[in-house]
Amino acid sequence: MFIAGASGSLKRLIEAQLQATGGLDGYGVSVFSTRQFSAPVTRQVGLFLYRVEVDETRRIVDAPRTSTAPRRSTLGFELRYLLTVWDEQDAEAEQLMLARCMDIVDRHPLLSGDLLAPAYAWEPEDALRVSFANLSIEDMLRLWGSLGVPYRLSVPCVVRTARLTARERMESSTANSNELVMSPMAP
Per-residue pLDDT, 175: 47
Please report whether residue 176 resides in a domain: no
Give helix 91-107 / helix 3-20 axis angle, nearest 10°: 110
DSSP codes, 36-66:
GGSS---SEEEEEEEEEEE-GGGSEEEPP--
Per-residue pLDDT, 177: 47
**116 touches 126 (CB < 8 A):** yes
Burial of 27 (0-12, 13-18, 19+ CB in 10 A): buried
Please report whether residue 183 resides in a domain: no
Range of the domain at 105: 3-64+72-168
Question: Residue 56: which CATH number?
Answer: 3.30.2000
CA angle at 112 for the pair 109 and 115, rounded to the nearest 5°: 90
Please report whether residue 177 resides in a domain: no
Per-residue pLDDT, 179: 53
Per-residue pLDDT, 7: 96
| Mean pLDDT per 10-residue interval, the chain, length 187 residues | 89 97 94 88 94 74 56 76 94 96 97 93 87 96 92 94 56 49 55
Please report whether residue 41 resides in a domain: yes
Please report whether residue 187 resides in a domain: no
**158 touches 133 (CB < 8 A):** yes
pTM for the complete prediction? 0.79
Per-residue pLDDT, 121: 86
Please report whether residue 143 resides in a domain: yes
Per-residue pLDDT, 58: 59
Number of domains in the chain: 1
Please report whether residue 13 resides in a domain: yes
Please report whether residue 124 resides in a domain: yes
